[in-house]
Structure 1
Amino acid sequence: MATSNPIGLEPVEDNLERVRTGIDYSSKIQPLVSASKRENGKEELKWLQGVTVDDKTGDIYIADCFNDCVKVFDSTAKYMFKFGDRRGEVNMSNPKSFVIYKSRILITHNHGILNYTLDGEFLSRIGKYGKGKLEFKYPEGIAINESNDDIYICDYFNKRVQILSQDFQFKSLLGLFKCPRDVKFSQEYIYVLDTSNPCIHLFNHNHILQKSVISLGQGNQVITPRSFFIDNSNNILIADCSSNSISIFNPEFQSIYNIPVLGQPTAVTVDNHDRVIVMCDRTVNCPLIF
């Protein structure tokens, strides 16, 4: 495994135990379900970005970036409804990433975060354009630290991760990075995907860098990662746009499997039934369920 330390701190010894794979990713060869590019006469799905699943209902939330809205499908990928509006107070534009949080969904979009109920009722908007506190330049990945409910947002063009309290007050910054695109948590680590190298930085929960993984496994380099997901066994699933695949690594960043997909994957998640849900841009423009 190739590692480096671009932030300048000494990495500590990797003490992660080797764990079982858990999900049989080798069985994910062909998609079980592919949602239609058009659904019941609605506008075509186009330029799909983030995806998340409501663990209680199995509903799938998709960022339809081209149409400036969020579209919701049930667990069988049947279209249900959409929400978002580029006009007025909401002003949803280029939605990118989601996190479901206490029966609400937080959405990153141009220069801020939108706060909705899960049935699409607009609640509030957080942030504005800029480089100060609670100011953003094209934020992307967003995640909740369940240990304290802090909200972490990849502030992409400001080259940092902003940390907010659960009531959306600024707390602190993590980084400096080059191109921070996604952030996730395990019980032990905070993972930040920096797409410039590409690289995943692992911090402990005191925000101290532990190590930085660049090549993501000898002979299994990830070329253009767009986002990632950590499953219940702490395996890392990376949507690699250039290789048209989901690259999967164990907690020690050893390659487990690649799931080939048609089109360029932009986002990936795993639901409570161990199904891998992938967003694809360009060629396919529809969610795939493996």
Structure 2
Amino acid sequence: MATANTLERIFSVDYKSKIQPIVSVCNWGRGLEDLNNPQGVTIDNSTGDIYVADCRNNCVKVFENNGQIMFKFGDEEGEGKMYHPNGLAIFGNRILITHQSCILNYQVNGKFTSRIGKPGKGELEFYDPSGLTFDESNGEVYICDYNNHRIQILSKELTYKTQFGQDNLKSPLDVKLTKEFIYILDLSNPCLHLYGYNLILNKSLISRGYGLQLMYPYYFYIDNSNNTLITDYYFNSISIFNSQFELIHKISIAYPSGITVDNKGRVIVVCRGKQTHLDIF
């Protein structure tokens, strides 16, 4: 296992007890145990395995829940060619990955299934898609179409269903679902938008800008207590807001990007930049 002494890492943080890291893995680089500008991260809840979009290595890396590397995947040619993967989400045996201006559909074992969408501004067309998530109740997919300033919704069969947000969103980065709302993190101010399932904006929260609560939010996660955890690449921190969206804690971590929580309640954070690698807390 690699030691933490260079650039790219994943943090697993027990933020409630605020303990210190005990294991560090993943150097910056291009080898199997290395990461290069990692972006999104997600958990396979059936196994606890950690999936990381290793953006500039053009692949997805899969780790055991203790941080040990297992395997990587991403076709080098053809329809499944992976180039600068960004967000990813797992539903059953399917993992979807945002990539350039389309969505790649793989199985969790790394076998390519299909490619969805193409560059553009129309239906099933994307311009730098970012975070995405599944609706666990029906398998629908919500995708941040970053530079088209909208969210696209696909059916369980990955066909186009609808879109929303063009009137309010600037550059949507990540999306999460609760029973009440569709949460969207966006490079606007305020930067967290809550839409109803009627696709109408309900409210916008959390200030963004110099000297405010966030500067460059990246990805976020909502835990079982309705705390919202947001990575801030510029302020080198994870900001934690309670269910009333009051800032209750900040964790200092260099250049965080993707964030998720496993079924043990540990927070897994992928970091990138000059002071990052993979830590387990």
TM-score, normalising length: structure 1: 0.86
How many angstroms apart in 2 are the aligned matches of 1:45 and 1:24? 23
Aligned residues: 265
1:149 aligns with 2:172: no
Partner of 2:227: 235
Q: How do residues 20-59 of structure 1 correspond to structure 2 at under 5 angstroms? A: 25-37=15-27, 42=32, 44-59=34-49
How many angstroms apart in 1 are the aligned matches of 2:276 and 2:78? 28
Identical counterparts, % of pairs: 53
**Structure 1 residues 40 and 183, CA, compared in 2 at 3 Å: closer, same or farther?**
closer
- Given that residues 174 and 207 in structure 1 are in contact (C-alpha distance below 8 angstroms), is that contact kept between their aligned partners in structure 2? yes
Partner of 2:192: 200
Residue 95 (structure 1) aligned to one of 85, 96, 121: 85
Residue 67 (structure 1) aligned to one of 34, 37, 57: 57
Residue 178 (structure 1) aligned to one of 167, 170, 176: 170
**Structure 1 residues 72 and 198, CA, compared in 2 at 3 Å: closer, same or farther?**
farther
- Given that residues 143 and 151 in structure 2 are in contact (C-alpha distance below 8 angstroms), is that contact kept between their aligned partners in structure 1? yes
Residue 66 (structure 2) aligned to one of 76, 79, 99: 76
Shift, 1:279, TM fit: 0.7
SS at match of 2:270: strand
Larger mean Cα displacement after TM superposition, 181-190 or 84-93: 84-93
Partner of 1:258: 250
- Given that residues 94 and 107 in structure 2 are in contact (C-alpha distance below 8 angstroms), is that contact kept between their aligned partners in structure 1? yes
1:277 aligns with 2:268: yes
Larger mean Cα displacement after TM superposition, 29-38 or 191-200: 29-38
- Given that residues 181 and 226 in structure 1 are in contact (C-alpha distance below 8 angstroms), is that contact kept between their aligned partners in structure 2? yes
Shift, 1:125, TM fit: 0.7
How many angstroms apart in 1 are the aligned matches of 2:60 and 2:158? 22
Residues 4-44 of structure 1: CA deviation (Å, up to 9, x unaligned): xxxxxxxxxxxxxxxxxxx9724234223322216995373
- Given that residues 39 and 79 in structure 1 are in contact (C-alpha distance below 8 angstroms), is that contact kept between their aligned partners in structure 2? no
**Structure 1 residues 41 and 224, CA, compared in 2 at 3 Å: closer, same or farther?**
closer
- Given that residues 30 and 36 in structure 2 are in contact (C-alpha distance below 8 angstroms), is that contact kept between their aligned partners in structure 1? no
Shift, 1:168, TM fit: 0.9
In structure 2, list runs of 5 or more residues that go unmatched. Answer: 1-12
C-alpha root-mean-square deviation of aligned residues, in Å? 2.0
In structure 1, list runs of 5 or more residues that go unmatched. Answer: 1-22
TM-score, normalising length: structure 2: 0.89
- Given that residues 277 and 287 in structure 1 are in contact (C-alpha distance below 8 angstroms), is that contact kept between their aligned partners in structure 2? no
SS at match of 1:96: strand
Shift, 1:56, TM fit: 1.3
How many angstroms apart in 1 are the aligned matches of 2:25 and 2:212? 30
Residues 229-267 of structure 1: CA deviation (Å, up to 9, x unaligned): 011111100001111111000121011211111x20011
Residues 43-76 of structure 1: CA deviation (Å, up to 9, x unaligned): 7311010000111111000011011100001011
- Given that residues 46 and 65 in structure 1 are in contact (C-alpha distance below 8 angstroms), is that contact kept between their aligned partners in structure 2? yes
Shift, 1:135, TM fit: 0.5
Partner of 2:278: 287
**Structure 1 residues 230 and 32, CA, compared in 2 at 3 Å: closer, same or farther?**
farther
Shift, 1:122, TM fit: 0.5
- Given that residues 152 and 163 in structure 2 are in contact (C-alpha distance below 8 angstroms), is that contact kept between their aligned partners in structure 1? yes
